[in-house]
Amino acid sequence: MLIIGRRVGETIYLGDDVEIRIMDLSPSRVKIGIVAPRELGILRGEMRQAAAQNVAASQGEGTGLAALVGRLREKGKAAERAMGE
């Protein structure tokens, strides 16, 4: 694990395509912004864990983590479209 100290307004780059911006800091929170290609999947840790648990619970149904992540992305896109209207 790499640990880097940053201040508000500073950035971290992952490769050529991903930029992580420190947006706000408080004693118990860090707000980050991520600039990345749309095709790159980004999930919060708790969502990934929930997806893995759902896959484990439904192994006999033929649903994999990739399929579940795809469905979560589609729900997110639908929510974005609804907010834009």
Q: Does residue 54 sit in the same domain as residue 67?
A: yes
- 2 with 31, same domain? yes
- In Å, what is the CA distance from 78 to each residue of 12, 36, 41, 65, 72? 30, 20, 16, 20, 10
Give the number of domains in the chain. Answer: 2
Maximum alpha-carbon separation in the chain: 47
User: Each residue of 34-85: pLDDT tens digit?
Assistant: 999 989 888 888 888 888 777 776 665 555 677 777 778 878 787 777 776 6
What's the pTM value of the predicted model, to 2 decimals?
0.57
Q: Is residue 47 located within the same domain as residue 84?
A: yes
> What does the block give as tokens for 84?
């834009």
pLDDT (0 to 100) of residue 15: 93
Within its chain, how far is the Cα of 5 from the centroid?
Answer: 21
Domain that holds residue 53: 43-85
Q: What is the token pair recorded at 1?
A: 């694990």
**83 and 66 co-located in one domain:** yes
